[in-house]
Structure 1
Amino acid sequence: MKGFVDKNICIGCGLCSSICPEVFEMDVDGLAKAKDIDLTDSLQDTAKEAESSCPVSAITIK
């Protein structure tokens, strides 16, 4: 599994990177981006929490 951010939807609120900084970070453009890593079992729950917390549904975990 990996995390993905749709930058066309992201509003740059930073919630995902505060919930799961191991997977999400803020890019130089002020929008979130997902690190290119495979999610371990321990990270999947936190990444899914970030996905469900995104106010504009810009995050996908798959």
Structure 2
Amino acid sequence: MHPAGHVEMFFSSGVFILDGGTSRQANRLLHLLQGAKIPVVPAALHNDAGVAGAAMVARASCASS
């Protein structure tokens, strides 16, 4: 089985997003997952994705109070 097949079986999602440090090195990794049946893309926000998500949760929490 192609390594991408293991990723697909484990996550069962419509898209696989490389985040954090892996998104910054996507050009080195994407070719390894070319056989995937789902799109594999680097995160647009790289390492800032977690911070942005936490800010969105905090904002929603404050708005509902």
**Alignment TM-score, normalising by the size of structure 2:** 0.28
Higher relative contact order, chain-length normalized (CA < 8 Å, sep 6+): 1
**Alignment TM-score, normalising by the size of structure 1:** 0.29
Larger-gyration structure (1/2): 2
- Decide which structure has greater strand share: 1
- Decide which structure has greater helix share: 2
